[in-house]
Amino acid sequence: MSTTVRVDVDSSGVALITLDGPQRLNAFSGETAGQLSAAYRRCDADDAVRAVVVTGAGRAFCAGADMTAQAAVFDSPDEGFSASPVQPPAWRVRKLVIAAINGHAIGIGLTLALQCDIRLVAHDATLAIPQVRRGMVGDCAVHYTLKHAVGLAVAADILLTGRTFSGSEAAGLGIASRAMPADEVLPAALELARDVAVNANPASVAYSKRLLWAQETADAVAAQETTVHLTLMGGPDAAEGPAAWRENRPPTWQSTASQTGDPA
């Protein structure tokens, strides 16, 4: 039942990457991460690919990590764990990467979209980065990508509250470039990608993208996120967060802020 990843390249040089697990709203797993990593590497290496669109099958973009009890998503990590499981991230792909957020994008579903260069979103999509409500923190360098996109105030609003918001609000906040009806998101993303594939110099796009993403060190933030995940995973609150979500009840946390060190 794991979400798989499909790659289709059209005659104009646009690669459409689809997260394909609609029965579970394209829930993300380690297997999905490996396949998406391979898809990004393929698109980066293939000069016939001039632009990339990432979307989800069915009515969601990606509803986040699988948090069923069987998945044990926040159990003690395996050796070599990274909070950024998709490598390379979209910002390292030397092509324009557009996220066509056709529906719900929760947790890693949204943090992966924030690694893309441009986001188009459905008006009525449900978005959130709720990890602070699950006993964890955001992943995929979101503490860099979101602040980089919209500034500290909006990033703090989204990351420190873990609240849910709509695609329309995302566009208003600058998290997405445009909001539109759900059935128009993918066609609009493909149209934009094809325009770039046909009219933009691939080397110019690659160099410009490098300059855009080089203003701060995203990789350093990603490494710090991994350190925090390694601290939290396997602890009681990492189990309590998903359990409270599954049982539709408020969580009972055991950890405290004073345990994090570095007092003010």
Q: Which tens digits make up the pLDDT trace of 236-263?
A: 888 888 888 899 998 888 877 667 676 5
The continuous run of DSSP H or E covering 104 comes out as: strand 104-106
Chain length of the chain: 264
Residue 168 lies in a domain: yes
Residue 255 lies in a domain: no
**CATH label of the domain that carries residue 158:** 3.90.226.10
Q: What is the pLDDT of residue 124?
A: 98
Residue 236 lies in a domain: no
Who contacts 20 (Cβ-Cβ below 8 Å, separation ≥6)? 3, 4, 5, 6, 26, 57
**Alpha-carbon distance 3 to 36, whole Å?**
10
| 12-41 tens-digit pLDDT | 999 999 999 999 999 999 999 999 999 999
Report DSSP state, residue 60. E
Residue 119 lies in a domain: yes
Number of domains in the chain: 1
Three-state DSSP state, 63: coil
In degrees and rounded to multiples of 5, residue 96 shows phi and psi of: -60, 130
Instruction: Choose the weakest-confidence range: 24-33, 123-132, 156-165, 234-243.
Output: 234-243
C-beta neighbour count of 260 within 10 angstroms? 11
Residue 8 lies in a domain: yes
Residue 230 lies in a domain: no
pLDDT band at 264 (very low <50, low <70, confident <90, very high): very low
**Alpha-carbon distance 190 to 82, whole Å?**
31
| 179-216 tens-digit pLDDT | 999 999 999 999 999 999 999 989 888 988 988 887 66
Whether residue 12 contacts residue 197, with contact meaning beta carbons closer than 8 Å, is answered with: yes
Three-state DSSP state, 167: helix
Q: What is the pLDDT of residue 208?
A: 84
- Mean pLDDT of all residues in the chain? 91
Report DSSP state, residue 86. S
Burial (CB count within 10 angstroms: exposed 0-12, middle 13-18, buried 19+), residue 70: exposed
Residue 223 lies in a domain: no
Range(s) of the domain holding residue 165: 4-199
β-bridge pairing 60-62 and 104-106: parallel
β-bridge pairing 178-180 and 126-128: unpaired
Residue 210 lies in a domain: no
| 82-108 tens-digit pLDDT | 889 999 999 999 999 999 999 999 999
